[in-house]
Structure 1
Amino acid sequence: MSGFFFKRKKNIQIISVLNKLSSQSGGVTRVSLARAKSLAERGFRSIIATVEYDPLLLDSIKALRSDERLGDAVGIMNFFIYFAKLSRASAGAGSISDYFADPEVVELARRSRYVGISGLRSNEYLNSEGRVFAREIVDLTGEIVSIQLDIPGRETVNFLTRDDAYSYWLDEVSGYGKFTVFIADASSRAEVVSKLTAVNARTVLTLHGNHFARPFVFGSNVTGISGKIIDNARFCDSLVVLTNAQKADLVKQFPSLNHLEVIPNSVSRDVPPSLARSGNKFVVVSRLESVKNIDMVVRAFKIALAENDSLCLDIWGHGSRGGHIQALIDANGMTGRVVLRGYANPVSEVFIQARASLSASVSEGFGLSILESMAFGCPVISLSSNYGPVELIKNDVNGYLVHDEREMAEKILRLAKDDVSHASMSSGGVKTADEHSPSKVADKWVRLINKLTAPGWVSKTARSSVSLRNASPSIGGNIIIKSYTQEELSVYRRLQVMRVDRSKKIGGVACLIESGIYDIHHMQFEEDGRVLLKFSQGANVYKGVVPRDSVEFRLLS
């Protein structure tokens, strides 16, 4: 594969960051796979980077390649496999493709042991030669206390969190391209991507879901994970959302949030095997979780069955609510008429055989399964909810928007018997799906990539202050600076300690911090113009002395 990458477009890398890659992938992973495949076809070096240790990764790659969900030209990288390969005796400079996960070769192993009687556990990661290249200490709660990378020919590097180690890795990977655009598809890795410092890196965060908590409309509280993404977006080059309606709400609520882009999900209309469409089969394709509100679908279907007992409902997906939903089906006497089918692959064969698909999700950022259903001529009956359903579904054109279970039951019964309306809405759904073809959506991504890599673009990752020294002594762990306003400092959230002069002391005690990058934990603005910066790594906040002029540092975005 490595020869393929010498012909990449302007040597631009596009790296989608996920936690794991599974062959039983959910919507976010399917979106990432589709985008990576489309951008590889456009001539970019397209890579999916996973960060977690995953013994099943190589099997997942095989499965995803075999059914072409993972494009042949898309490279797969993993944090642990990368450093396992880099630590081998034969490792050289090489090209980035030398560090891709090879599904035919087991590159690493992990062993664990307890550290004395402390209760702490040490995880050691070994390369294919049996050499330990990474160690991490895990506490009783499962939190990482420290992680160390020990690569031959390099200084050993230590991190207090895996996220810091992941950012270090991605910064290094960015060096294999003239530009590298990182897309944080895993919502939990938004901060990892937003902390990149490589000058040739471009950082993009994504909101795959509705950012509001209940009742999921403007004015509601912002969810915790979405709030973190929105906060981190201030330090990134772009925030991508899936609908115009969500962008409008974000602009109203966060007027200082700039570089917002709307790029919807895509859907492929690869023709599945010729299968007969049933006139009485309805389907759900969804995670079985509370937010998906499958209970409402079951209750609506019970109402419909009372008037037409020939109907049947297949529920495809898995999740924590599976047992509850099965109990609800059994308690309502619908066993055999409503059936949990498990994971759907391929979803095309599910939708091509169904009369219509049903969705009752109370909150959707987009609703990929809605678009997939339309792509195969399967109209959608959905609860009217933000953001995807109300933007994708047009009543009597490609499906129905409903407001309660009785209205959903009414539409089920209508579609089951009205062949003319069904044919019209089936055709309307295909037209909607065509507007979201991989080619059209890839065009939008290419425009964003071109903008971020244009000569005049000033990346957020390149922003830092000049070299500074602490202006006053502190016995409370503060770095103290002067002559900065709150507005000026709002663009910074980290500091890089470059040198510490331990000859300077307070009460015979020197500053004990080491060179490295720290989070700004808190800023306190004093009336005399001083600014007190409290800094940390992970959950560890420095509380020791900082003698005057003892620390040379830079502020980083």
Structure 2
Amino acid sequence: MKPTMFFLMNSIDLARGGLTRASLKQASTFAGMGYKTYMLTFNFNPRYPIIRNKLVKMNKIHKDVIIRNMYEELGGHSNPLALHSPSKKASLTELSRGHALDKREGHNAYRVYENGMYTKYISLNDDDSLNFIDYFNESRYRTKRETYDLWGNLKKIAYMDYSLNAPRQLIYYNNKGKAFLAQWNNPNNDKVQRILLFDDNLSITDTYVNDDTSHKVKWLKYIIDNFGGEKSVVVSDTRSTDDVLAKFSHPDAAKIWRLHSSHLKKPYTFDAEIATKVKLGFENMDKFDAAVFLTEEQKNDVIQRVGEKSNFKVIPHYHEYSAKPFQQTIKSIMSTTTRNEKLGVIVSRLSTLKQINHVVEAFGMVVDKIPDAKLEIWGTGDQESNLKDLINKMKLKENIFLKGYTHYPDQIYKQGLFSILTSKSEGFALSVLESMYNKTPVISYKTKYGPTDMIVDKENGFLIEKNNIEELANKMIYMFEHPEDAKKMGIKAKKYIDTYFNKDIYIQKWLEVVDEVMVKKFNG
């Protein structure tokens, strides 16, 4: 009998990076094999009805994967909320009570002035439904934020600390306007100080002090009791859910911890300190029926620190492109795309960890030799403005282009002659896998972990020492000057991925791990 699969994610959204894409693919794989599969989310987000709908339509998740959310269910919804009716368009006249409105440039938002005083900030969603309202006092301090669902129901109020502009108290409401959860925060560090749960009579049912985990564990136990069947497997995919998995115990559920990122702090060598966000998982490894790594190198580095453990497993990612019928236009574009021999591409989160500024600096050297060379950078993040400033400073506006987030990385890779990865650290480097799958060779730093597992230097791509910007430039110049060599590398890259990182291997390894933890949990 197949167990029920539960994948723990703090949050899911549409524009996310490699971890979310990998987790959606993981859940979809099990659903496609006939497993009853759930993704459990623990964040507050009134947009989950849209997120669920679009993930399926965009073919990012299997239609049979059920995404449940803790806040929806604590608020009285026994089933995941769906787009049962169109969202409600907000009335600015009603929300402003007829007072003066000032539209914020570049945003679907308005400031409200009452007899000259700034009192409200109204934020709308793209479909003009109400997102939130901020309230201000006469000193222009924000006093509270009201957050609404797609149909205009008040779902949360955050009461703010005036001086720190951070929440002190948050109250969550059901559709009847009754509170079901109240939370006190320390506004200095955002740590949870107290959580109270209420029943329909507004009586307190549970109180948690300095504890942001126990109510999540309680909800997880409820889910397993009611939807898990006779046997379940629970997988923690994000470090924010590790504490939930560690404290969760159920006679009918096995536990798997899956590490997507590097476990290392700077300088990211095998003997560096353990990253703060990973420590909790490391401290609880013996409580998990399996600890899954993405690469053999990372597993071996961990063994050097904590010793060999029988529950250590390795399951690398895989990648394939499949289009639903309505996506045939995109599939057609991809199949007919001509590779641009003057174009390098990056698909990445724009963060300091990714060091994309290294590529920009190297590209200045490239353009000195190849003036018509182009680089497209696809992604969003907190370094976007800094990268824009650097591009302008280096006078590369005609060569380097910040293109924003893409839902279709395969299409981007197929257009480029090569792609680049310059991260300080990775858990697997999913972008390398996706690029090579699309016959686009990668120029990559020798980053822990992932690139050295997939790239055979000078055969299907290039591996260079970290932070060697001059060599990075040299390799890009070589690719531009020898496009036929780059294309041959791309063919070999695809063959390598098809041989060692295919779906059959992925499924086989996952089934082996699931079978093993089932035996360990129920027959041990």
CA distance in 2: counterparts of 1:11 and 1:386, whole angstroms: 35
Query: CA contact under 8 A between 1:138 and 1:146: conserved in structure 2?
Result: yes
Q: Report the 3-state secondary structure (helix = DSSP H, G, I; strand = E; otherwise coil) of the residue aligned with 2:490.
A: helix
Deviation at 1:115, TM superposition (A): 11
**2:393 is the counterpart of 1:393:** no
Task: Provide the residue aligned with 1:136 in structure 2.
Answer: 183
Q: Which amino acid aligns with 1:443?
A: Q
Task: Provide the residue aligned with 2:319 in structure 1.
Answer: 267
Distance 1:257 1:231, change over 3 A: farther
Task: Provide the residue aligned with 1:436 in structure 2.
Answer: 501
Give me the CA root mean square deviation. Answer: 2.5
Sequence identity, in percent?
24
Task: Provide the residue aligned with 1:28 in structure 2.
Answer: 19
Q: Report the 3-state secondary structure (helix = DSSP H, G, I; strand = E; otherwise coil) of the residue aligned with 1:381.
A: strand
TM-score after normalising by structure 2: 0.78
Distance 1:387 1:308, change over 3 A: same
CA distance in 2: counterparts of 1:260 and 1:289, whole angstroms: 30
Deviation sequence 1:175-205 (CA, Å, 0-9, x none): 2222221211111211111110211122111
CA distance in 2: counterparts of 1:437 and 1:148, whole angstroms: 47
CA distance in 1: counterparts of 2:478 and 2:160, whole angstroms: 66
CA distance in 1: counterparts of 2:70 and 2:220, whole angstroms: 9
**2:411 is the counterpart of 1:349:** yes
Query: CA contact under 8 A between 1:206 and 1:241: conserved in structure 2?
Result: yes
Distance 1:419 1:158, change over 3 A: same
Q: Which amino acid aligns with 1:156?
A: T
Q: 2:39 aligns with which of 48, 57, 63?
A: 48
How many pairs are equivalent? 438
**2:470 is the counterpart of 1:406:** yes
Distance 1:152 1:457, change over 3 A: same
Q: 2:304 aligns with which of 220, 239, 252?
A: 252
Deviation at 1:130, TM superposition (A): 3.5
**2:275 is the counterpart of 1:223:** yes
CA distance in 2: counterparts of 1:407 and 1:202, whole angstroms: 48
Q: Which amino acid aligns with 2:41?
A: T
Distance 1:291 1:456, change over 3 A: closer
Q: Report the 3-state secondary structure (helix = DSSP H, G, I; strand = E; otherwise coil) of the residue aligned with 2:156.
A: strand
**2:489 is the counterpart of 1:425:** yes
Task: Provide the residue aligned with 2:328 in structure 1.
Answer: none
Show the 5 A alignment for 1:97-496: 99-104=79-84, 109-112=154-157, 121-141=168-188, 142-151=190-199, 156-160=205-209, 161-175=211-225, 176-177=227-228, 178-255=230-307, 257-270=309-322, 272=331, 273=333, 274-403=336-465, 404-434=468-498, 435-454=500-519, 457=522
Q: Which amino acid aligns with 1:308?
A: I
Deviation at 1:42, TM superposition (A): 0.9
Q: Report the 3-state secondary structure (helix = DSSP H, G, I; strand = E; otherwise coil) of the residue aligned with 1:156.
A: strand
Q: Report the 3-state secondary structure (helix = DSSP H, G, I; strand = E; otherwise coil) of the residue aligned with 2:170.
A: strand
Query: CA contact under 8 A between 2:319 and 2:434: conserved in structure 1?
Result: yes
CA distance in 1: counterparts of 2:341 and 2:363, whole angstroms: 15
Q: Which runs of 5+ in 1 are unaligned?
A: 1-9, 87-97, 460-557
Q: Report the 3-state secondary structure (helix = DSSP H, G, I; strand = E; otherwise coil) of the residue aligned with 1:62.
A: helix
CA distance in 2: counterparts of 1:223 and 1:454, whole angstroms: 32
CA distance in 2: counterparts of 1:455 and 1:260, whole angstroms: 13
Q: Report the 3-state secondary structure (helix = DSSP H, G, I; strand = E; otherwise coil) of the residue aligned with 2:284.
A: helix
Deviation sequence 1:293-344 (CA, Å, 0-9, x none): 1111111111111111111001111111111111111111111201111112
Deviation at 1:78, TM superposition (A): 0.4
Query: CA contact under 8 A between 1:237 and 1:452: conserved in structure 2?
Result: yes
Q: Report the 3-state secondary structure (helix = DSSP H, G, I; strand = E; otherwise coil) of the residue aligned with 1:99.
A: coil
Q: Which amino acid aligns with 1:449?
A: V
CA distance in 1: counterparts of 2:161 and 2:295, whole angstroms: 53
Q: Which moved more, 1:410-419 or 1:260-269?
A: 410-419
Q: Which amino acid aligns with 1:182?
A: V
Q: Which amino acid aligns with 1:265?
A: H
CA distance in 2: counterparts of 1:195 and 1:56, whole angstroms: 29
User: Higher Cα Rg: structure 1 or 2?
Assistant: 1
Q: Report the 3-state secondary structure (helix = DSSP H, G, I; strand = E; otherwise coil) of the residue aligned with 1:234.
A: helix
Task: Provide the residue aligned with 2:115 in structure 1.
Answer: none
Q: Which runs of 5+ in 2 are unaligned?
A: 86-148, 324-330
Task: Provide the residue aligned with 1:477 in structure 2.
Answer: none
Query: CA contact under 8 A between 2:155 and 2:174: conserved in structure 1?
Result: no
Distance 1:458 1:156, change over 3 A: farther
Task: Provide the residue aligned with 1:58 in structure 2.
Answer: 49
CA distance in 2: counterparts of 1:17 and 1:260, whole angstroms: 19
Distance 1:451 1:258, change over 3 A: closer
Q: Report the 3-state secondary structure (helix = DSSP H, G, I; strand = E; otherwise coil) of the residue aligned with 2:357.
A: helix
CA distance in 2: counterparts of 1:134 and 1:220, whole angstroms: 41
Deviation at 1:436, TM superposition (A): 2.1
